[in-house]
Amino acid sequence: MASDEHPTPARRGGASFPARRLRRLRRTPALRRLVAETTISVDDLVAPLFVRQGIDAPVPITSMPGQLQHTVDSLVTEAKRLASLGVPGLILFGVPDRKDATGSEAWNPDGIVQVALRALRQAVGDQLVLMADLCLDEYTDHGHCGLLGPDGEVLNDATLELYGRIALAQAAAGADVVAPSGMMDGQVAAIRAALDGGGAEGVAILAYAAKYASALYGPFRDAVDVTIAEGGDRRAYQQDPRNRREAMLEIAQDLAEGADMIMVKPAMTSLDVLATARRRVPVPMAAYHVSGEYAMVQAAAAAGWIDGPAVALEQLTTLKRAGADFILTYFAAEVAEALGG
């Protein structure tokens, strides 16, 4: 018996023949565009940028071809280029010239990110959404995302007060969005309280809610000059890549604490998490296409094994299909140019 889902095949020349030919709508580029279920535009892109203190010229990042540790001046130039391409936002990571046990340069009003934010705000006004990564690992001499106890364990609650200081410093310097990435329990609530108590109620929080302890962050650590002391890792506070239900708990907790947006990281190896979260939460959701994902595409393209720009666009489109509202990607400028931004 025929049904709508399983129509009876038409007869042609005495042989079964499909009445529904799905290839009909793939026949031409215009048809494919017309029926595309997912599209990516320049509006979906956020560019991660690095700014380094104490350098006179931009420094190439060897493990991330095409990416730089910027001076403040070159950062401003790049931000203006992104704005001209139509990219709506950037997220800033700082590399200080002085590190200590507490990461005090992270909340120093004259720290590198705060200096850079003020310069960016003066240069681009509201043309770009200025996001600032909020963490301590780039600023501590031990490379962890929080204060350490006597036994080397990262102290959750003592770290939260420092996160509040960083949030206020970044807000005062001009950040539209602060993005806590340390994966401390209660970090969103602590930051929201600090911002609201400090007169920065309008600053939004993009929470790294589902951030896995991934092997794909290596090039990023080159970019920010971070080495974890004594060969350690962050598995005691970043999520176990084997867990998905736990990610939903993290997301729910960050939303309950006041997060305005959530992030899933790394992107391509977390498509199931991204899709599940999209079905469950109504807030804007970001995916971070991380340094290792970027570097692998660049390396394979340089070897002539793949079409790099095509793979980059395919991966970013897949992230949109899985549910991301916007994507943090080192391909932002390249893809914006390709899209005609």
- Give Cβ neighbours of residue 152 (< 8 Å, ≥ 6 apart): 229, 230, 232
pLDDT at position 134 is: 98
Segment 138-173, tens digit of pLDDT: 999 999 999 999 999 999 999 999 999 999 999 999
* Residue owning tokens 């932002």: 332
Write the CA distances from 189 to 118, 225, 249, 253, 265, integer angstroms.
26, 29, 15, 9, 20
The answer, yes or no, to whether residue 24 has pLDDT greater than 70, is: yes
Query: In the 8-state DSSP scheme, what is residue 179?
Result: E
The confidence band for 4, taking pLDDT boundaries of 50, 70 and 90, is low
The confidence band for 14, taking pLDDT boundaries of 50, 70 and 90, is low
- Can 265 be counted among the known catalytic residues? yes
* Mean pLDDT, rounded, for 232-261: 96
Segment 33-75, tens digit of pLDDT: 999 999 999 999 999 999 999 999 999 999 999 999 999 999 9
Catalytic residue among 80, 99, 211, 320: 211
Rounded-to-integer distance, Cα 27 and Cα 33, Å = 11
Closest CA to 264 of 335, 313, 322, 185: 322
- Can 80 be counted among the known catalytic residues? no
* Mean pLDDT, rounded, for 10-23: 72
The answer, yes or no, to whether residue 103 has pLDDT greater than 80, is: yes
What are the helix (H) ranges across 18-173? 29-35, 72-85, 112-124, 156-173
Query: In the 8-state DSSP scheme, what is residue 213?
Result: -
Rounded-to-integer distance, Cα 175 and Cα 171, Å = 5
pLDDT at position 273 is: 98
The answer, yes or no, to whether residue 8 has pLDDT greater than 60, is: no
Mean of all residue pLDDT scores within the chain: 94
Rounded-to-integer distance, Cα 174 and Cα 276, Å = 34
37: buried, middle or exposed (CB in 10 Å: 19+, 13-18, 0-12)?
exposed
Segment 174-189, tens digit of pLDDT: 999 999 999 999 999 9
Rounded-to-integer distance, Cα 247 and Cα 211, Å = 8
The confidence band for 231, taking pLDDT boundaries of 50, 70 and 90, is confident
Number of H helices, E strands in the chain: 11, 12
